[in-house]
Chain A
Amino acid sequence: MNFFSQFGIFSNSMGAVLINPSAMLLLFGSVFMGIMFGATPGLTATLGVALLTTLTYGMTTNLALIALLGVYVGGVYGGSYASILLNIPGTAASAATALDGYPLACKGEAGKALGLTTTSSAIGTIIGMLFVVGLAPAISKIALQFTSFEFFLLAFFGIIISGTLTSPDLVYKGWIAGFLGLFLSVIGRDQLQFYPRFTFGLSDLDGGLDIVPVLIGAFGIPQIIQVIRDSQKPQETKKFTRILPEFKTIIKNIPTIIRSSLIGVGIGAVPGIGEDIAGWVSYGAAKNASRHPERFGTGEVEAVISSETANNACIGGAMIPLLSLGVPGSPPAAMLLGALMLHGIQPGPMLAIDHPTFIIEIAAILLLASFAMWIIGIMLAKQVVNLLRIPTSVLMPIIAVLCVIGSYSLSMRIFNLFLMVIIGVIVFILNEMGYPIAPLIIGVILGPMADQNLRRALMVSEGSFLPVFTRPVALLLFLVICLTVLSQTKIYRRVLRKFMQRISKKKT
């Protein structure tokens, strides 16, 4: 496919949405819902995507994608409202934004801050989208190098890396959570030989654990429990003045925007970590690059722009491994993976062969979503804050009901409600013990891929592990996994430090 035919498909898919009133309504509606979710502490972009997955199940794939990407883009952006106005990050992704956004609001410049985050989020999303179009075809060229061994190693890598990067304290906790997810994924009859595993004779477990109730249980229930326990009270919002961005400030900050976008895309492209880490890293990079690092934390415009651009650019970044390798790059992307599978689309190396125009369509929708986000953001910034005034005692029961409906509506099984509650309670306890949730979910999602492909690979090689070392892509993945695990050990760090010392000695 050459550039012009790609561009043709791109503008065609955009045009198809623009002339379709119901698609436009859906786009704006889902972006709006995403912003609401993002702006409300306790609700995340991931939960928004999870709830919409069930609601969009009956729609065509294209419409469902508009809704899901809309809520994703809106959700990541919406977090900045609460961060700036209340100093409570609406989502983890905008935690870094609060550091300078709230001081700006205290100075009476909340309007300016919101306007800047709106524009920089939109620019970040668009730059991320450009990378999806630019990089995905290159990655899909090596698609036919992927056989069962590579798929197994890829899935295993996804679980290991997400465990490594999301653990708040000990990396082993991330891996334990990942393997727990892997265990949950093997419950039920295996898809290769139909043998029942860990079903204890319960016919409800025969089909395995449905992914949606597990996701809603893991993300929704612990959040409800935590919010009710901590009884977070939104504070009175400060008045603010103008919302429209100052284009001068944007132009002045173009280097920051480009650097933050690249950081966002890069972090998004690494499986298992997402928008929150992108925001922090970009904030750190902006502080390092700034001529006035001491002003960071006191209401620096550059800081707000850096974290908000990066977390939105991360969306496009997260799409790259999702679409080209089938490995989600962030927690909302993991939810998106489940949604795509429900619509019969299997992301991965074969996507370019099975659905050649799909990646371009995604890019077109992302671009539209970022425009919709910008328009809504500019228009609704003042009103959105009102949602934060709803008392927790009213909001959380509504969320709980939505969780129940979301878990039940997909397959209409009461069993899934029990599953959601049990998973929710287990995850809450794990949370309290400092285990991250993301690796567990990625384990559940990538588990079948790891399990089936390992067994199939061994059937193909008649029991030999040799292909891991003879196939180039497999060997590369194997070495990357080894390095990831080794880099967490004390010995590795000690060796690395000595090595660095020796190098610096030689230089001097």
Chain B
Amino acid sequence: MRKSILISVLIITLITSFVFGAAEREYPERDITTVVVWGAGGGTDVINRIIMAEMSEILGVNINVINVTGGVAGSVGMNDAFNRPKDGYVLAGMSESNVTSAVMGGFNNRVDVWDWFIVGGSPDVVSVGANSPYNTLDELIDAAKANPGSIRAGASGAGSIHHLNLLAFENGTDTDFNFIPYDGSAPAQNAALTGEVSIIITSIAEQAQLIRGGQLKPLAMLEPEAFTVDGLTIPSSFTNYPELAQYLPLRQSIGFAIAKEAPQYAKDKISEAFKQAMETQAVKDFGKNNFYILAGLYGDEANTLMNNLESSFAWTLHELGSARVNPDSLNIPKP
């Protein structure tokens, strides 16, 4: 009797370990779906399609990239991805802009329900039109200090990464600009060409064509390091204004995430594939050709970064009066 119990326990142990072990060994055994919450052809979409193509080869299964857009700060796609089974076969293609979805009332959870994988982002640059009287950052800052609030600065709408960069730039240089919001970076840049705004803050990836064409004059990077576009070196704004280091850099963070509740073995496999994919030539070339700085962050590092971005975005929006949900009620710490 005792013997038979022992045997059955042994058998059960064997079977369970075999089943679980097999599941672990065989992930992924079917196709993975990546729900990109921004539109096809945009930065987040393109980056996800490239990294997923590489990861698909490494993992040996197809990764289907679909776009589910709409809502506030991509909330429709975030909810769609989050409500799918948390079995490790669903990824969500997102960017730093999605961290505001919770305070905007679009998503009921904070960013910490995800494990993040950050491919990278393009750094922001302060530029002026080709005919602008300002040739250096110092000239611009002096003019801004002489007439506070009169120089028009264009960037995409309130609460966007570029708007936050402008606010940080104002704080760090003790200046005050007249912020003119646009429906995206492209119209903001067009306004710099027509002279409607004097300066613009958008990413170097978005400005690259206009800088090369001589239509925009880049003054300074909102980054600790200088940046080179086709042999033209754009100095860092930190050199002459070291106080900026308190507020910057606030860089785009584009990548994807997996639900934290997904099985650990799946997350391990995805992390490993992500690490390898970031090392491939295709991803490196994409970053170089499109002026992205590749981060390749995952695990605690990536999660901490997103948490920090969430605090600064959420509280900034709250101060602007645009947040629908008080960041305190979501336990989002102050930056």
Contacts and interface: CB of A to CB of B under 8 A. Distances in A.
A206 B104 contact: yes
Given A148-B196, A206-B105, A456-B180, A344 B76 contact: no
A138 interface: no
A192 B39 contact: no
A58 B183 CA distance: 23
Contact of B157 (A194, A203, A350, A412): A194
A195 B196 CA distance: 24
A22 interface: no
B191 A344 contact: no
Given A191-B183, A207-B76, A460 B40 contact: no
B180 A459 contact: yes
Given A193-B158, A206-B104, A460-B152, A147 B193 contact: no
B105 A203 contact: yes
A206 B193 CA distance: 32
Contact of B71 (A57, A61, A203, A342): A203
Nearest to A411: B70
B181 to A, nearest CB: 4
Contacts of B320: 193
A159 to B, nearest CB: 18
A291 to B, nearest CB: 53
Contacts of B41: 61, 343-344
Given A194-B317, A460-B152, A460-B196, A206 B180 contact: no
B42 interface: yes
Interface string B142-186: 000000000010000111000000000000000000101111001
A196 interface: yes
A58 B181 contact: no
A250 B69 CA distance: 50
A131 interface: no
Contacts, number: 91
A321 to B, nearest CB: 18
A414 to B, nearest CB: 11
A343 B67 CA distance: 13
A192 B322 contact: no
B104 A144 contact: no
B199 interface: no
Nearest to B196: A147
A413 interface: yes
B324 interface: yes
Nearest to A190: B157
B181 A203 contact: no
B157 A342 contact: no
Given A194-B157, A353-B193, A344 B68 contact: no
B181 A196 contact: no
B4 interface: no
A195 B183 CA distance: 14
A412 B68 CA distance: 7
B187 interface: yes
Given A191-B157, A203-B105, A411-B76, A147 B194 contact: yes
B202 to A, nearest CB: 14
A58 B40 contact: yes
A207 B71 contact: yes
A192 B179 CA distance: 10
B187 A346 contact: yes
B100 to A, nearest CB: 9
Nearest to B74: A207
Interface in A398-416: 411-413
A192 B158 contact: yes
B42 A460 contact: no
Nearest to A192: B181
B311 interface: no
Between B40, B70, B193, the greatest number of chain A beta carbons within 10 A of the residue's beta carbon is seen for B70
A503 B70 CA distance: 59
A96 B159 CA distance: 53
Contacts of B76: 207, 411, 413
Nearest to B150: A462
A207 B39 CA distance: 14
B69 A192 contact: no
A452 interface: yes
Contacts of A459: 178, 180-181
A206 B72 contact: yes
Nearest to B159: A194
Nearest to A57: B40
Interface string A149-167: 0000000000000000000
Contacts of A144: 193-194
Interface in A116-160: 144-148
Interface string A437-478: 000000000001000100010011010000000000000000
B75 interface: yes
A259 interface: no
B190 interface: yes
Contacts of B88: none
Contact of B180 (A343, A353, A460): A460
Nearest to B323: A194
Nearest to B107: A203
B70 A413 contact: yes
Nearest to A147: B196
A382 interface: no
B74 to A, nearest CB: 10
Interface of B: 39-42, 68-72, 75-76, 80, 104-106, 152, 157-159, 178, 180-183, 186-187, 190-191, 193-197, 317, 320, 322, 324
Interface of A: 57-58, 61, 144-148, 189, 191-196, 203, 206-207, 210, 342-344, 346, 350, 353-354, 411-413, 448, 452, 456, 459-460, 462
Given A147-B196, A148-B191, A411-B68, 12 more contacts: A193-B157, A193-B320, A194-B157, A195-B322, A206-B71, A206-B75, A344-B39, A350-B186, A411-B76, A413-B76, A459-B181, A460-B152
Give 6 nearest A-B pairs by CB, closest first: A192-B181, A147-B196, A194-B322, A344-B41, A206-B72, A411-B70
10 contacts: A189-B104, A193-B158, A194-B157, A194-B158, A203-B75, A203-B106, A344-B41, A344-B42, A452-B183, A456-B180
